[in-house]
Amino acid sequence: MKNDLSIPYEKGYHIVGINRGKPAKLYYEIYGKKNSKNKVVLVMGFMQPGSAWKFQLDYLLKQTDYEVCIYDNRGIGNSNSLSFSIKTLAHDSIDLVKCLKWKNVNFVGTSLGGSVCIFISSFIEKELINSMTISAPWLGLFAPKIPIGCYLYVKSVLEKNERKKFEISFKTLFSQNYLNSQSLSNPLKTKNESMIDRAIEQQQQRQQQNSSKTLFSSLLIVLFLKISPFILSDIKNKQYLNVCVISGKQDILVDLQSIKKRLVNNIKPMNFKILDSGHCVNIETVAQYNKIIVDHIDESNKLNILKRNNNNCSNTYNIKSNYLCNNNNNITNYFFKNILKFFKK
């Protein structure tokens, strides 16, 4: 009988943070074929459970040789405890990978999960990581100015009318073109109208899962998050770290220019992709987003094999990933150029 990949082959809890403050029971699920070559950990954003990765999970499980872990951050969904620091969330993810005994992991994070992945990139041991995909990461309240989306979010919190509240909230997360487009579930409505209907129906369940304490702790992380130049420099200098950054062209929570100036220019990622989307790039541009993830993992696999095979040759090992960002042929060309230089010495 063929395995049903839509059902997790393993799920449960792992205790993280034992040696750093207050421990937490992190709920996780693993899908795919056990002991697959490509291991992926999906890191979700603000107040969202791991199950919010549905569109990416479905796609990844259709690929060959993929094993995917989703999990709930502290205080979210089925995980207990609270976090008041982005660093805690990053170390939680690393602890989870160690509990699973995974190595050469491909991390993918979006929104606040993308911010978590920035810190994971700096903290994680070399043997645990293969690639990192950081999408629409929250860079801090002043990055370099308060985003327009923050004003809209505050407005949505103060709004008393339930329907209007969600209408304002969705404007911070999605582009207007996406919101105005036709709903797939109900062609007589727009996506905006359908999403508001679902949000109102699911509101009670969300309130039961996430307490006011969780909301407070999550807001503190967002308000006081600061990414130091040291963190960014550390990521840039890790030659083995293959990073992909994804940004939405119409994102009003983390605008494109801030991503370029604060993140891309400082870490020099292997790939930098701009999608015609709002903040929720993983939902609004599903097909493109999913393909970028898989392409980046495939490219990272090839590059890391090349580096391992030439570990004794310093010239080839120190290839800077940002020079290899858009064309696999660049890897081969750069490799042979350095080999020639090596033998000419």
3-state secondary structure at position 173? helix
Give the Å distances, CA to CA, from 15 to 56, 95, 127, 237.
Answer: 26, 8, 22, 31
Place of tokens 């109208």: 193
159 touches 276 (CB < 8 A): no
CA 133 to the chain's CA centroid: 6
pLDDT at 3: 65
In the structure encoding, which two tokens stand for residue 80, read together? 């207990």
Q: pLDDT tens digits for 267-324?
A: 999 999 999 999 999 999 999 999 999 999 999 999 988 877 776 454 433 444 443 3
Three-state SS for 204-221 is HHHHHHCCHHHHHHHHHH
Domains of the chain: 10-142+220-344 (3.40.50.1820), 148-215 (no CATH)
Give the separation between CA 138 and CA 109, rounded to whole angstroms. 11
pLDDT at 207: 55
In the structure encoding, which two tokens stand for residue 287, read together? 């097909």
107 touches 120 (CB < 8 A): yes
Q: What residues in the chain have per-residue pLDDT under 70?
A: 1-3, 204-210, 311-345
pLDDT at 206: 60
